[in-house]
Structure 1
Amino acid sequence: MIDIEGFDDVVRHSWAIGVESNNSWVRFKKKLQFLKSNIQVKNSSSRIRCRSKRKMLQDSLESIDARIIEGDGSASLRELRVMTLKELNELDHLSNVDLAQKAKVKWGIEGGENSGHFHVVVNRKRHQLAIRGIFIDGVWVDDPGRSPFSREEIKRVVWDCGSSKAPGLDGFSFGFIKRYWDLHEDDVVDFVLHFYHHSSIPKGSNASFFTVIPKIWSLVKLK
């Protein structure tokens, strides 16, 4: 629902709230939680308006078609029909995007059940997929913690990810992060650097919020 009218205002207003915490993870999490709550309210009212508008447009289209069948083929009426169909298609597009996001979240929750077999497979491969070092600017580093991430590196990683991919079940896709990068760049950078310096997840944060999942054998680059 990122394209609905007024969405930008909701995001920017929500992100401007003050969060009192010295922990960048806690600040980032609370801002996302507050934003998500406001987006849910916005989406709920938007869906009601969309349903009402769609009913009105559908009735208008049926009326236009009835007049055309009766012989009224004026240019203005045909133009009105085209405009009505265009508005209906735009509403259907917004609805399809909303349904696609809901399906993605539903699959994330229910698709990969925490079965015993799943855990056996993961534990067996844990040693094989362990990251023992990486190449940084052509130099092998077996203790990557000595090379902090730069602001440019963090942004590049975000932009390398598909816009429709979501980092978690919170529903905030990389497309969302890219679109509002100017708004929350500092929060994202502080969030990443906090984990780099402390190597720990604050109490109360979801441990799955930040997960490194190697998808290839012999991983030597963070990409």
Structure 2
Amino acid sequence: MACKLKALKADLKKWNEEVFGNVGVKKKKLMAELVELDAMADLRPLTGEELQKKALIVADLERTSLFEEISWRQKSRALWLREGDKNTKFFHRLANSNRRYNSISSLSINGVLSTDSDAISECITNFYSHLFEEEEGDRPLLDGLDFSMISGEDAVWLERPFDEEEVAGFNGDKAPGPDGFSMGFFQCCWDILNPDVMAVLNYFHGLSSFEKSLNATFVSLIPKKRDALEVRDFRPISLVGSTYKILAKLLANRLKVVLPKIIHLSQIQYPHSLCIYQFN
């Protein structure tokens, strides 16, 4: 499946460059043609052929404008708005603002502020390489501890085979992973992707393992505050591929059903609508 998506990615990039990516240029061209026809209509009645051409231009212009709104909305990540709201300029400003806010142009390295991109990259890489390095030592055993247990019925429910309805219920309006494919892509093309996706899920269900490349992860740094200058001022988040995201979401949705049955009221439990970092 990964090979198929990789091959498709090349065709999608070409399509984006030749068809979707130039919506701004196409929109200007259509506007110019429409203005020209309107100018002709001020001088004389348009012929039947010209009226038909104008109708086609107007329809194409509406479709191109919608594509432009969708493109900028996705870049802005303004999920509370929907395409068709005629907020292209707002989406454009928000996307540019996000791009500036999410870039690391300067960083304090050993007490000295640096703007050198290579030095910043090396500093961040060294910091997280050391942070994620596992120290050698004995791991504590948990033998003899009394844990709450789920019922046999719940265990059977948790381990049941995956079905298509579980996948179809995901939110398709989230940002894509490093592979570039969003959940919306899988939902729109489900009739085509269904056999491959379910084959991956069934393979994992049967063997309790998956291809190592499936959970290849990019680490992205999100600033905790404005004017973040120290490495510790950034919060690392993992960006995983779409297929692994589907699998992880399926498991999480199942676990959250049974967790309330084994977590005692005296134990800390994260509210459903909040994130872990809000409790740090």
Does the 8 Å contact 1:101/1:171 carry over to 2? no
Counterpart of 2:213 in structure 1 is 204
Structure 2: runs of 5 or more not aligned: 78-94, 105-123, 132-148, 218-239, 260-280
Where do 1:61-100 residues align within 5 Å?
A: 61-68=34-41, 70-73=42-45, 76=48, 80-100=53-73
Count of residue correspondences: 167
Alignment match of 1:220 (pick from 250, 253, 258): 258
Residues in 2 aligned to 1:74 and 1:143: alpha-carbon distance in whole angstroms = 69
From the superposition, tell whether residues 167 and 56 of structure 1 become closer, same or farther in structure 2 (CA, over 3 Å).
closer
Residues in 2 aligned to 1:196 and 1:162: alpha-carbon distance in whole angstroms = 23
Deviation, structure 1 residue 96: 2.3
Does the 8 Å contact 2:40/2:46 carry over to 1? no
Residues in 2 aligned to 1:79 and 1:40: alpha-carbon distance in whole angstroms = 33
Alignment match of 1:184 (pick from 184, 193, 199): 193
Does the 8 Å contact 1:134/1:144 carry over to 2? no
From the superposition, tell whether residues 67 and 158 of structure 1 become closer, same or farther in structure 2 (CA, over 3 Å).
same
Deviation, structure 1 residue 159: 1.8
Q: Deviations over 1:103-130 (max 9, x none)?
A: 45x87xx86x99x9xx9xxxxxxxxxxx
Letter in 2 for 1:178: Q
Does the 8 Å contact 2:150/2:258 carry over to 1? yes
Task: Please identify which structure carries the higher helix content.
Answer: 1
From the superposition, tell whether residues 32 and 183 of structure 1 become closer, same or farther in structure 2 (CA, over 3 Å).
same
Residues in 2 aligned to 1:218 and 1:195: alpha-carbon distance in whole angstroms = 20
Deviation, structure 1 residue 97: 2.1
The TM-score normalised by the length of structure 2 is 0.46
Does the 8 Å contact 2:203/2:210 carry over to 1? no
From the superposition, tell whether residues 36 and 103 of structure 1 become closer, same or farther in structure 2 (CA, over 3 Å).
farther
Residues in 2 aligned to 1:48 and 1:140: alpha-carbon distance in whole angstroms = 49
Counterpart of 2:161 in structure 1 is 148
- Which has the bigger relative contact order, CA under 8 A and spacing at least 6? 1
Does the 8 Å contact 2:204/2:210 carry over to 1? yes
From the superposition, tell whether residues 86 and 218 of structure 1 become closer, same or farther in structure 2 (CA, over 3 Å).
closer
Counterpart of 1:21 in structure 2 is none
Counterpart of 1:6 in structure 2 is none
The TM-score normalised by the length of structure 1 is 0.56
Q: Deviations over 1:138-187 (max 9, x none)?
A: x4227833x333xxx2x101221234345634332333223333322221
Q: Which has the larger radius of gyration?
A: 2
2:154 counterpart SS class: strand
Where do 1:17-56 residues align within 5 Å?
A: 28-47=1-20, 50=23, 53-56=26-29
Q: Deviations over 1:14-43 (max 9, x none)?
A: xxxxxxxxxxxxxx1121111112211121
Deviant stretches of 4+, over 6 Å = none
Residues in 2 aligned to 1:74 and 1:58: alpha-carbon distance in whole angstroms = 18
Residues in 2 aligned to 1:34 and 1:134: alpha-carbon distance in whole angstroms = 45
Does the 8 Å contact 1:133/1:140 carry over to 2? yes
Does the 8 Å contact 2:24/2:68 carry over to 1? no
Deviation, structure 1 residue 60: 1.4
Counterpart of 2:171 in structure 1 is 162
